[in-house]
Structure 1
Amino acid sequence: MTVLVVGGSGYLGGEVCRLAVAAGSAVMATHQRAPGDVPGVRWEPLDVRDRGAVGRLVEALRPRTVVNTVGVYADWAVTATGAGHVAAAAARVGARLVHVSSDAVHGGRTEPYREEDEPTPVYAYGASKAAAETAVRVVAPEAALVRCSVIIGPDARARQVAFCLDALAPGSELRLFTDEVRTPVGVGDLAAAVLELAAGDYAGVLNVSGPEPLTRLQLGQLVARAHGRDPAALHGATLAELGLHRPATVVLDTTRARDVLKTRLRPPSEILTDAPR
């Protein structure tokens, strides 16, 4: 399989590259600032905001599969418009597309979200992710759209793990949410699921997330224990106390993923087992 990983220099993209190379695929990946460090990958610079550049690159490489992992928190043009450019280019060459989305498309509720639940974003990043999904559905209806939650790993390369470790530093004023609930997913599990979908024909949204709902504070406590630190050093706060307008409880129902995928989606405690001490 020839795979083009858009955003291959990022955390998830790099893991997709690593697993694809290990599986014997020919892997090409894009970066905006600097190539990643995965051996065996052909690196190409790309700004997904440039429709012409995206089209020319995909036409030149003609991959069998395109995996789009790109998403920038405060950049609509990259996250939403760029997703449309990638989807259109993949469709023109007949490539299989797997687009990585986010649980940020949901507005928050006590009941788990299924794939059929339409986006109800309440902040800008969620809106950009929802717009990206719409663009992909329009131009590449056979694509797989992966809605995932917070991406974690055993070390500080994972943004949320790094934040938890920073919050553990002496004198830190960082606070972890006590009322924001998510279902964290391991970067390796998510990457494996993405490549499994790339090799298949599943079309539409699929929730790919971990099995255990946790608050950010509870996740931080797991990170602390995994790294041999004292969880009592962490401090919590509510979204309201920090003046933030974000969805509180967003739990993804992964019943369909368990039926569709062979990849096992592990709980955070297991993912963090290999944390350095």
Structure 2
Amino acid sequence: MRLLVVGASGFLGAEVCRQAIAAGHRVVGTHRSAAVGVPGVEPRRLDITDRAAVRTLLTGVRPDAVVSTAYRTDDWTITADGAAHVACAAAEVGARLVHLSSDALHAGRPTPYLDEDVPTPVHAYGAAKAAAETAVRAVDPGAALVRTSLIVGEGSKQIQLCRDALAGRATLFTDEARCPVDVTDLAAAVLELVPSGYAGLLNVAGPDPVSRAELGRLVAGHEGVDPAGLKTGTLAEAGLRRPADVRLDSARAAGLLRVRLRGVRELFD
């Protein structure tokens, strides 16, 4: 298979590339600034906010499938417009599309979110992710849209945030819950979806809902660090408006996929 990974220099994109190369696929990986550091990947510089450039690249590469992982939390043009540009170009060349979305498009509630629950964004990044989904679904009804949560693993910014909080340089909130997923599990799930023909929304996250503060304590235990210094707080105290208790129900993915999505407690046991 000839696979195009958009955002191959990112944490998830690089892991998708590594697993695809190991499986024997030919992989083209795009980057905007940081280099693609995965051996065997054909790197291509791409600004996905440039619709013409996206179309030119996909027309030249003619991939069998596209995995779209690129985003920036503070840039609508990359997260929303860029996703639309990739979807349009992928549809034009007849490529299978797997688009990565996020639990950040939900506001938070006491009960888990199902796969088709509509977005309820409370901040700009969530709104951009919701807009990206709308564009992708309109352009390509056959695309798979993966809603995921905090991505963990060595090199993850989520783990670094925990280490910073343990050192007193950052704050982890006790009232902000997510369902972390290991990067290798998520990448394997994404690659499994490519040939599956699955269309529509799919929650792909870990089975363990934990607060960010609890994640910090798990990291401390795993690394043998005293958790007493962990700096914690609440979203309310910090005056932040962003999603609080967001739990994804990934039962459909668990029944559909061969890969087992491990819980964060198992990962850091």
TM-score range relative to shorter protein: over 0.9
Q: Which residue of 2 aligns with 1:178?
A: 174
**Residues 165-244 of structure 1: matches in 2 within 5 Å?**
165-169=163-167, 172-244=168-240
Corresponding position of 2:41: 41
Aligned to 2:118: 118
Deviation string 1:173-218 (CA, Å, 9 cap, x unpaired) is 4221000010001000000000000121000000000000000000
- What is the one-letter code of the residue matched to 1:119? P
> Do structure 1's residue 9 and structure 2's residue 5 form an aligned pair?
no
- SS of 2:237's equivalent in the other structure is coil
In structure 2, distance between residues paired with 1:271 and 1:191: 16
Aligned counterpart, 1:107: 107
Question: What amino acid maps onto 1:100 in structure 2?
Answer: L
Q: Report the TM-score, using the length of structure 2 for normalisation.
A: 0.98
Name the SS for the 1:30 alignment partner.
strand
Residue equivalent to 1:161: 159
The count of residues paired between Structure 1 and Structure 2 equals 269
Q: Which runs of 5+ in 2 are unaligned?
A: none
Q: Is the partner of 1:100 in helix, strand or coil? A: strand
Matched, 1:73 2:73: yes
For normalisation by structure 1, the TM-score amounts to 0.95
Distance 2:266 2:55 in 1: 41
Aligned equivalent of 1:270? 266
Aligned amino acid, residue 87 of structure 1: A
1:247 matched to 2:238: no
Two-structure CA RMSD over aligned residues (Å)? 0.9
Relative to 1, partners in 2 of residues 1:44 and 1:173: Cα closer, same or farther, differing over 3 Å? closer
Q: Structure 1 runs of 4+ off > 3 angstroms?
A: none
State the identity %. Answer: 58
Q: How far apart are 1:240 and its partner, in Å?
A: 0.7
- C-alpha separation in 1, matches of 2:171 and 2:22: 39
1:218-260 alpha-carbon deviations (Å, 9 max, x no partner): 0000111111111121021110111100121100001110111
* CA distance in structure 2 between the aligned counterparts of 1:80 and 1:103, rounded to whole angstroms: 15
Look up the equivalent residue of 1:50 and give its one-letter code: D
Return the letter of the residue paired with 1:160: Q
What amino acid is aligned across from residue 104 of structure 1 in structure 2? A
More off after superposition, 233-242 vs 22-31: 233-242
